[in-house]
Chains A and B, each alone.
Chain A
Amino acid sequence: MIEFKNVSKVYPNGTQGLKNINVKIEKGEFVVIVGLSGAGKSTFLRSINRLHEITSGEIAIDGKSITKAKGKDLRIARRDIGMIFQNFNLVKRSTVIRNVLSGRVGYHSTLRTVLGLFPKEDVNLALNALDRVNIVEKAYTRSDQLSGGQQQRVSIARALAQEAKIILADEPVASLDPLTTKQVMDDLQKINQDLGITTVVNLHFIDIARQYATRIIGLQAGEVVFDGPVEEATDERFSEIYGRPLETREDEEVEVGESAHESSK
């Protein structure tokens, strides 16, 4: 369970990133965050594992405050949260399995991981994770030899190997073509349903959001302007909120540049 209590974030330059957010995400939900570029989607997601700091309020995960966690407590909290990025963020020169195993480093001492002495169970866990996203045969290939979709599946495997209870995905399909988009989103959905992992995804496209989400949260200028089940997230409703309909996959060509812009903030 993820709980936002009166969360706000003001950037040093005065921009309001998040504004008084109160949201409760239950275990096993598949939540998609939508909104225009710069609406605060990325800030929302990254404040959950504190890659971004919030300026006021509190975020609690399973009742424990991550906002107040320090040092070891923060690392242990992060260990339970897997994260998937728009640009995959794999170490391109390392092998696939090493990238997946890097999800396990939080469980072991620095010396042990630096020497590469991962226990046998960890290696099995990594191979299992790769098998789940159908890419196990590439385990010992260098990551830069994989296609974009394959790389994103490796980063999903990394989150799985972490044995995360929550998966955060920040624009996971923004740099992928429609076909691989479907594969990656299907993987995320399957993991959510099979393993009951709470999944929070930022998406640009309302049509993909409707297809996969159990619940949609709409953001605008850092505020929650919509929060409800998929059935209520109609085009009419969104046009009313945003003054224009949200983009669908067809607008992709125009949008890739903008979303890259957003993630670079």
Chain B
Amino acid sequence: MSSATRPIKPKKNIVRRWVIFIALALLYIWALSGVPVEGFKETAGQISKAIVSGIFSPDWDYVYLPEGEDLLRGLLDTLAIAILGTFISAFLCIPFAFWAANNMSKIKANAGIGKFFLSFVRTFPELVMALLFIKMVGPGSFAGVLALGLHSIGMLGKLFSEEVENIDFGPSEALKATGARPLQTLWFAVFPQVLPGFISYTLYRFEINLRSASVLGIIGAGGIGTPLIFAMQSRDWSRVGIILLGIIVMVTIVDIISGYLRKKIV
């Protein structure tokens, strides 16, 4: 083959590749430079062994204790925090969702402000919110409920507003033409269109909130996290084992039920 007809490998791609490669290399040099190398405690092996054996021989007695403060009550508390927190946010985020939807107001900046507000709430970690609520209403489940309720507005509001942006305005026009009041138009023409999406997203958020609720107790905001952190501090690994097992089972069951309901709604 003559070299003239041969296509030349494009130079631009090669340069781009090198730029990416060097950037990544620098990033990792920087990242690794900050990690303490001396790292491991000598006891690490011993403790891991204790943890593993603890997890595989869970403290079954802890599942139910007649005098209270047992696994079942802890899990129930966690579930209750997640349910209430999710409901509060699903309710409170509706006005924000309409605020942040592009098709609900004539001024574009208005929806932009709403979207910014929601992303602000979304980035505010729920654990930090919980810490602040503990200062306000005292330690316990209620602080956890408030933290989840407020934090979830960010994500639910965003998902809900996307649902609102997809509505068909035809039915609203038809309702308006029959002489309906604005609220009636909203209820009969807009709500039936967005409700299935709202419910589905709320269930999805509930799955996430259940996971969050199981760690809230670590900082004192109620739920199963509190006995877990106590068990860890007292190195009661078989109790840690049963609590972990309890969380995994509960989360899995809730995921399955919620997934089934979400499939049925759509």
Contacts and interface: CB of A to CB of B under 8 A. Distances in A.
Interface of A: 49, 51, 74-83, 85, 87-94, 98, 102-103, 105-106, 110, 113-114, 155, 158, 162
B179 interface: yes
Q: Which 7 residue pairs spanning A and B have beta carbons closest together?
A: A106-B179, A79-B179, A89-B170, A78-B179, A89-B174, A83-B177, A75-B179
A45 to B, nearest CB: 11
A78 B177 CA distance: 6
Nearest to B195: A93
A75 B180 contact: yes
Given A90-B174, A91-B192, 16 more contacts: A74-B179, A76-B179, A77-B179, A78-B176, A79-B179, A81-B177, A82-B178, A85-B173, A85-B174, A89-B171, A93-B196, A102-B178, A105-B180, A106-B180, A106-B181, A110-B183
Contact of B171 (A76, A82, A90, A113): A90
B interface, by DSSP: helix, strand, loop or mixed? helix
A19 B171 CA distance: 29
Which residue, B170, B178, B179, B181, has most C-beta atoms of chain A within 10 A?
A: B178
Interface in B192-225: 192-193, 195-196
A91 B189 contact: yes
A239 B175 CA distance: 39
B184 interface: yes
Nearest to B177: A83
Contact of B192 (A74, A85, A94, A155): A94
Given A82-B178, A110-B183, A105 B170 contact: no
Nearest to A113: B184
A79 B177 CA distance: 7
Contacts of B177: 49, 51, 78, 81-83
Contacts of B188: 91, 94, 98, 102, 105, 113
6 contacts: A78-B177, A78-B179, A87-B170, A93-B196, A103-B178, A158-B174
Contacts of B195: 93
A79 B173 contact: no
A105 B178 contact: yes
B124 interface: no
Given A89-B170, A91-B192, A102-B188, A79 B176 contact: no
Interface string B64-75: 000000000000
A105 B196 contact: no
A76 B184 CA distance: 14
Interface in B54-97: none
A102 B180 contact: yes
Contacts of B183: 110, 114
A162 B187 contact: no
A192 B176 CA distance: 23
A113 B178 CA distance: 14
Contacts of A92: 193
B178 A78 contact: yes
A79 B188 CA distance: 16
Contacts of B171: 89-91
B196 A155 contact: no
Which residue, B184, B187, B196, has most C-beta atoms of chain A within 10 A?
A: B184
A75 B183 CA distance: 13
A158 B177 CA distance: 11
A51 B174 CA distance: 10
B178 A114 contact: no
B196 to A, nearest CB: 7
Given A93-B192, A93-B193, A75 B181 contact: yes
A90 to B, nearest CB: 7
Which residue, A77, A89, A113, A162, has most C-beta atoms of chain B within 10 A?
A: A89
